[in-house]
Amino acid sequence: MIPLSLGEIATITGGRLVNSDGAETVTGGVEYDSRKVGPGGLFVAFAGEKADGHDFGPKVVAAGAAGVLGTRDAGVPGVVVEDQLDALAKLAHEVVGRLPELTVVGLTGSSGKTTTKDYLGQLLSRLGPTVAPAGSLNNELGFPYTVLQADEKTRFLVLEMGARGVGHIRYLTDIVRPSIGVVLNVGAAHLGEFGSVEGTALAKGELVEALPADGVAVLNADDALVSAMASRTGARVLLVGEAEGADLRATEVAVDSAGRASYVLKHGFDRGEVRLGVAGRHQVANSLAAAAVALTAGMAFAELLVALGEVGIVSGRRMDVFEGRNGATVVDDSYNANPSSTAAALHALAAMGTGKRTTAVLGYMAELGDHEVPGHAEVGRLAAELGVDRLIVVAENARPILDGAAEVGGWRGAAHLAADQAAAIELLRNDLRADDVVLVKGSRYRTWDVADWLRRSEEVQPT
């Protein structure tokens, strides 16, 4: 963050100084976790169900923090505001306004946002100092938190934008207006909030509507709802995908036995081979979007070909491939799930499982609304059609996955309903081999224990 005094912060946020003449200066970062506040930092105190952050104010200031931003006096130098999120939004807006050399990239989509953001962070870092922190910091708190990590040295700021309804992305773009906007896809994620994929498209397109006339919109040519967003922006449009007519196009796509894709990248008169080091054919689309931004930012085509082959997984539980217990190959994609992202993961499992035994451990996919039962059944049918050898479904609310698999005639795989994650672990414990490839996928927390158990190389002995 750029240096700001508490007095300036009070003025920017419309807050009230307490226990301070305003001279204390924030020279460190802004944190809402008291354990992460460093010397010169600003601690944003929230009152939670189990603890009130304001109570930690004296501790963080004693450790060197410049002050506390909260809704009440914490007994130390600070700024009292009516709403911390609104205050952070105002701070973020002000900071970007003081960084005229900064290029802001906004990114949204129903799936793949965080992985693509990670790719962008790695590519753009080759061109200059870049802020693109790990994790899904894409809401009203994470968005300004990310912005406030930028300072005078930062050249690129990559902002992931999530939405659960119309107007959410517009709110974020009002805080910081990107000059480059990327829309990856429109799928069934959060249909409980959006109501339909058309509603999702309406919300996601708010990003390109916010772009300036001299900006760039990177749109997925292979997704009709996304490519149609070209009519909603005055910015220059770059279409990326495998479709003919894409400005940045992947052809001759192939997937190796480790699930890693390769393709020929074409851009104008330039063409060259890309070999990705990450698993999943769907990474082709993610890498194309990141490549378009890198080219727009000034990366040479030849350098881009090399750089794309070197990007890796940064944020956890997203197509993280590792050797697990008993030598089994594990694909931990358990951070979140929707029908589209689960389908992509299942295709990766099938590619990696050639000549091996495949197991899909699938949990409940949340926030699908009226699409909940058919969405789960769709995933089950695909697992069976791909010939998954073992299907372990975690918890009763995910049972429609098994029902969908049972509809596929000729599937000879084993199907199990595990009451919970512990039961799923027992099924794996009793039969896990070195020639297994195991995919773990589910909405937040619902399969994390399974993935963590598989990651440990040996049993934890009781004490």
Which position has the token pair 């007095």?
Answer: 7
Mean pLDDT of the chain: 95
The residues, ordered by sequence, that sit 6+ positions from 327 with a Cβ below 8 Å of its Cβ are 433, 434
Q: How confident is the model at residue 460 (pLDDT cuts 50, 70, 90)?
A: very low
pLDDT one-digit tens code per residue, 271-296: 999 999 999 999 999 999 999 999 99
Tell me: pLDDT of 461 over 50: no
**Cβ contact 134:315 at 8 Å:** yes
Which position has the token pair 């005055």?
Answer: 234
Tell me: pLDDT of 383 over 80: yes
pLDDT one-digit tens code per residue, 149-171: 999 999 999 999 998 889 999 99
User: H or E element: which one contains 164?
Assistant: none
**Cβ contact 240:246 at 8 Å:** yes
**Cβ contact 187:111 at 8 Å:** yes
The per-residue pLDDT for 285 is 98
pTM as predicted: 0.93
The residues, ordered by sequence, that sit 6+ positions from 145 with a Cβ below 8 Å of its Cβ are 30, 32, 88, 137
The per-residue pLDDT for 110 is 92
CA 339-340-342 angle, to 5 degrees, is 65
Q: How confident is the model at residue 268 (pLDDT cuts 50, 70, 90)?
A: very high
Q: CA nearest 250: which of 272, 230, 233, 218? A: 272
The per-residue pLDDT for 462 is 38
Q: What pairing do the DSSP bridges indicate for beta strands 156-160 and 180-183?
A: unpaired
Q: How confident is the model at residue 203 (pLDDT cuts 50, 70, 90)?
A: very high
Q: How confident is the model at residue 196 (pLDDT cuts 50, 70, 90)?
A: confident
Tell me: pLDDT of 223 over 60: yes
CA dist 176 and 193 (Å) reads 24
- 27 CB-contact burial (10 Å; exposed 0-12 / middle 13-18 / buried 19+): middle
How many of the other CB atoms lie within 10 Å of CB of 14?
12
The per-residue pLDDT for 187 is 78
For the segment 227-243, the average pLDDT, to the nearest whole number, is 98
Q: Provide the token pair at 456.
A: 């440990």
- Taking each continuous run of H as one helix and of E as one strand, the counts in the chain are 17, 22
CA dihedral for 190, 191, 193, 199, sign (positive or negative): positive
Tell me: pLDDT of 19 over 80: yes
**Cβ contact 327:458 at 8 Å:** no
The per-residue pLDDT for 194 is 64
CA 424 from chain center: how many Å?
Answer: 26
Residues forming beta bridges with residue 108, ordered by sequence position: 183
For the segment 338-344, the average pLDDT, to the nearest whole number, is 95
Residue 46, phi then psi, degrees to nearest 5: -115, 145
CA dist 137 and 147 (Å) reads 10
- Count of alpha carbons within 13 Å of 299, Cβ hemisphere only? 23
**Cβ contact 239:289 at 8 Å:** no
pLDDT one-digit tens code per residue, 305-337: 999 999 999 999 999 999 999 999 999 999 999
Could you tell me where the DSSP H helices lie in 228-338?
283-296, 301-310
| 3-state DSSP of 65-112 | CCEEEECCCCCCCEEECCCHHHHHHHHHHHHHHCCCCCEEEEEECCCC
Which position has the token pair 């109501």?
Answer: 195
For the segment 169-189, the average pLDDT, to the nearest whole number, is 93
Tell me: pLDDT of 32 over 60: yes
Report the chain's C-alpha Rg in angstroms: 23
Q: Which domains are delineated in the chain?
A: 4-82 (3.40.1390.10), 99-310 (3.40.1190.10), 320-455 (3.90.190.20)
